[in-house]
Chains A and B, each alone.
Chain A
Amino acid sequence: DSGVTQTPKHLITATGQRVTLRCSPRSGDLSVYWYQQSLDQGLQFLIHYYNGEERAKGNILERFSAQQFPDLHSELNLSSLELGDSALYFCASSRGQGSIQPQHFGDGTRLSIL
């Protein structure tokens, strides 16, 4: 158990809809990262938050957004969903920003778009 909790584990929805994925980091971790894992693209970094502030963006679509709340949990919002958004979405957390502490991953949310 990594200590990172992601909910829900599975999500099935239709094209055009909007969903919210939730992540609770390990106790004491201030950084939250979101990654997308798909068969064609592999594991790709989406966005990084540190202590409530956005720190870096990767290959994140404009239809996607995220935030980190004062209690440090994070949410990834996906809107106007397309078939190609079907993927496994991982959250990871680490102690700080600019530290050498490794990232610890949750079990992911599997998103299926019908």
Chain B
Amino acid sequence: AQSVTQPDIHITVSEGASLELRCNYSYGATPYLFWYVQSPGQGLQLLLKYFSGDTLVQGIKGFEAEFKRSQSSFNLRKPSVHWSDAAEYFCAFNQAGTALIFGKGTTLSVSS
């Protein structure tokens, strides 16, 4: 069955430290992959997307993600976390034009 797994429910990172959020997908072909961020009381904001080509994609707010076909992974990274990055992060995929399938999300806390 098609699915997205985010193994970490909650992660705490010190401000200024690096961040990596994990995402694994289960799908028969190469999907279209996305990372969204949700701040409290807000909707989901698109951070970045991967459709094809370069497997390292750059997004907004200094985030990047790397697609690894062999590991069925699409991990999100940021070299230096800011307190304002505290939020919930969702990995998702779809076939073009269809519904998004989301992971359960990872809550990021940033400590000072």
In A93-114, the 8 Å CB interface with B consists of 94, 96-100, 102-108
Residue from A43, A45, A58, A104 whose CB has the most chain B CB atoms within 10 Å: A43
**Which listed residue, B32, B34, B99, B103, touches A56 by the CB 8 Å rule?**
B99
> For B28, what are the chain A residues with a Cβ–Cβ distance below 8 Å?
none
B11 part of interface (Cβ distance < 8 Å): no
Q: Are B96 and A48 in contact (CB under 8 A)?
A: no
Within 8 Å of chain A (Cβ to Cβ): is B56?
Answer: no
A107 to B45 CA separation, bound complex (whole angstroms): 9
Q: How long is the Cα–Cα vector from A107 to B100 in the complex, in angstroms?
A: 17
Q: Is the CB of A2 within 8 A of B97?
A: no
Residues of chain B within 8 A (CB-CB) of A43 are: 90, 92, 100, 102, 105
**Which of A94, A100, A107, A108 has the most B CB atoms < 10 Å from its CB?**
A100
Which B residues are closer than 8 A to A by beta carbons? Answer: 32, 34, 36, 41-46, 49, 51, 90, 92, 96-105
